[in-house]
Amino acid sequence: MLDAAAAWAAGKDSIAVVDLACGLGSTLRSVSGRLPRRQSWRLVDNDLSLLARAADLARPPDLSVMPIPVDLARDLEAALDGPVDLITTSALLDLVSHDWLDRLVTETAARRLPIYAALSYDGLATLDPVDPMDSAVIDAVNVASARRQGFWAGAWAGSGCRRAGPF
Ligand SMILES: C[S@@+](CC[C@H](N)C(=O)[O-])C[C@H]1O[C@@H](n2cnc3c(N)ncnc32)[C@H](O)[C@@H]1O
């Protein structure tokens, strides 16, 4: 995914990125080194303290960061308004509802924008090599994921995803 995003961006003079649900800025940290030198990032989250910390990250002079407090469940469209070349997100899509995902696809397609989405987990996990603790660890991860997804109105409910966990 990252190779594909980097190849798409290669040759551009500058790039404007909107990172949805930025958290502490891990996507900026992992992706920015693969993009053109001049970058502007709009970091979007509804957690003000995470936004403040993400905006404080050390960064090169050609990279600007603007934290934007937005409730993405309600105002996704507003988060995408303004100049943007690339949408990024990480560890988000497994938390959202089908309806919200449809909105994201519709808005992205309407703007003809590429999207880089990393770290999506559908509840299925296999570990290699096998360890006797595997199922306990996977169950704990799935219980934690199920708790978080409730905030976004049940991404997996009726999704048809097979789950390795207990729910
Ligand atoms: C699992 S974290 C991922 C953070 C980051 N993208 C990463 O990969 O580390 C999910 C993020 O979604 C944000 N979030 C949850 N609900 C949100 C909402 N309604 N609007 C905006 N952000 C939200 C949380 O504050 C959190 O930063």
User: Which of the listed CATH numbers 3.40.1410.10, 3.40.50.620, 3.40.50.150, 3.20.20.70 matches domain 2-118?
Assistant: 3.40.50.150
Residue 142: predicted pLDDT? 83
**Which residues fall within 8 angstroms of residue 57, CB to CB, at 6 or more apart?**
25, 28, 29, 65
Residue 149: predicted pLDDT? 55
Residue 145: predicted pLDDT? 74
| Domain range summary for the chain, segments of one domain joined by + | 2-118, 122-167
Pocket test for ligand 1, best of 92, 99, 148 (most atoms within 8 A of CB): 92
CA of 22 to the centre of ligand 1 (A): 6
Q: CA-to-CA distance for 102 and 108, rounded, in angstroms?
A: 10
CA of 96 to the centre of ligand 1 (A): 10
pLDDT tens digit at each of 167 positions of the chain: 999 999 999 999 999 999 999 999 999 999 999 999 999 999 999 999 999 999 998 888 999 999 999 999 999 999 999 999 999 999 999 888 899 999 999 999 999 999 999 988 877 888 899 999 999 998 888 887 776 654 444 443 333 333 333 22
Question: By C-alpha distance, which of 87, 96, 94, 89 is closest to 117?
Answer: 89
Residue 159: predicted pLDDT? 37
Residue 148: predicted pLDDT? 62
Which residue has the least CA distance to atom 12 on ligand 1?
21
CA of 43 to the centre of ligand 1 (A): 11
Q: What is the pTM of this model?
A: 0.84
Residue 84: predicted pLDDT? 97
Residue 34: predicted pLDDT? 96
